[in-house]
Amino acid sequence: MDEALRQLASLPHAVLLLAPGQRLAAANPAAEQFLGQSFRRLEGRELGRLLRFSEDRLAQRLSETDAHVSARATGVKVSGQRERMVDVTVAPVIDRPGWQVLTLHDTGGAEAAADSASGEDTVLRAPEVLAHEIKNPLAGIRGAAQLLGRKLEGGDLALTTLIADEVDRIAKLIDQMQTLSRRTPQELAPCNLHEAVRRARAVMEASGKAPPIAEEFDPSLPPVMGNAGALVQVVINLLANAADACAGVDKPRIVVRTRFASGLQLHRGADGTPVRLPIELRVSDNGPGVDPAMRDHVFEPFVTTKKSGQGLGLALVRRLVRDMNGRIGHDRDEAGGWTHFRLHLPLADERRKNLREDRP
């Protein structure tokens, strides 16, 4: 039985055991993550109060406790969250009348946890190949502008400064593209997550563009396995996006929270070895949220709703997080008026992977 429970906990898909009356009797960690609550808070609650399926016929079929049901790419809504597309299966439990096993596989793509990035790599290979050829003439243009600037005055001098600034902007854009398309993995080491957050916060506050940033840290968190510089860049990008998102709100707020989130896993490699991701960093803002039409695409290159944006910020975040064996996702709390970006990372010390396993 212990082995069966361990295997159930290792499954990446949400699995729910329903007692007669479709009351929740058990849930694996993936189901807790899907529902956004620990099993202790969910135990005994009716399925209909936890999930709402977009297809009434499917909900009716699920209530037939002796039926085998399977549905692909159907809409489901968890209270307080947006609707997601999932694959659903339900089956009766042998020799247990009225009992059912329900599985849910999120296929919507709002959480960028997939390891395969072939489509992304195809998009980004051209900048990787052309970067060197582009940067060389840019350096020449900048040097020429600086030489001209020594001989000019007034308005003409301002034009040479503008040329140099624009060259720097283009070079920075190319650097971002190279980071997205590079194949060499980052060097990973134990990192203090809170130090990375506070450094990123200092950068944002020094720029004068950030609203008040509140911290809700769990001081007991151990080090994560990551890259310190990459972590700072990730948090800066998330804070910058949050600041932009709530800029038009009367009382803009950003909250950065860290906590244990046991049970999260990401299968990597051909052998399917699970990497545990028990550390969660959440950056939340009280802005209006991501346009519903864009929510499944925010981590893709060149996707942006900003007039002056290039659509590379979150794509870069996803790449850096993936290189640290982590994952990044987002969700919207319509009831509370908050948008949450959640970063999940592995522990630096694998021997502590079972630490506080029962913590919600």
pLDDT over 90 (residue 235): yes
Q: Could you tell me if 73 and 84 are in contact, meaning their C-beta atoms sit under 8 angstroms apart?
A: no
pLDDT of residue 156: 77
CA separation for the pair 55, 72 (Å, rounded): 12
β-partners of residue 329 are 342
DSSP one-letter code for 13 = S
68: nearest Cα among 86, 54, 88: 88
Rounded Cα–Cα distance for residues 125 and 317 (Å): 18
Rounded CA separation 164/146 (Å): 7
Cα–Cα distance measured from residue 5 to residue 7, given in angstroms and rounded to the nearest whole number: 5
- Whether the Cβ atoms of residue 174 and residue 208 lie closer than 8 Å to each other: no
- pTM equals 0.54
Residue keyed to tokens 């510089």: 229
Of 2 and 105, the one with more pLDDT: 105
Residue 108 has pLDDT above 60, yes or no: no
pLDDT at position 122: 45
Question: Which residues, listed in sequence order, are joined to residue 276 by a DSSP beta bridge?
Answer: 265
Lowest mean pLDDT among 149-158, 228-237, 272-281: 149-158
| Per-position DSSP letters for 46-76, written without gaps between them | BHHHHEEES-HHHHHHHT-TT--EEEEEEEE
Q: 140: helix, coil or strand?
A: helix
How many residues appear in the chain?
360
Q: How do residues 6-62 score in pLDDT, each as one tens digit?
A: 666 667 788 888 999 999 998 888 888 888 888 888 899 999 888 888 887 787 888
> Which pLDDT score, from 0 to 100, does residue 359 have?
45
**Is a pLDDT exceeding 80 seen at residue 178?**
no
Interatomic CA distance for residues 12 and 264, integer angstroms = 8
CA distance 196 to 227: 10
Per-residue confidence (pLDDT) for residue 179, from 0 to 100: 60
Looking at every residue in the chain, the average pLDDT score rounds to 77
- The tens digit of pLDDT for each residue in 132-148 reads 556 566 777 777 777 78
- Which position has the higher pLDDT, 357 or 178? 178
- Spatial distance between the Cα atoms of 134 and 303, rounded to a whole number of angstroms: 23
Radius of gyration for the chain, computed over Cα atoms and rounded to the nearest angstrom = 24
| Residue type (1 letter), 19 | A
pLDDT digits (tens, 9 = 90+) for 315-335: 888 888 888 889 999 899 888
Strand partners, 339: 285, 332
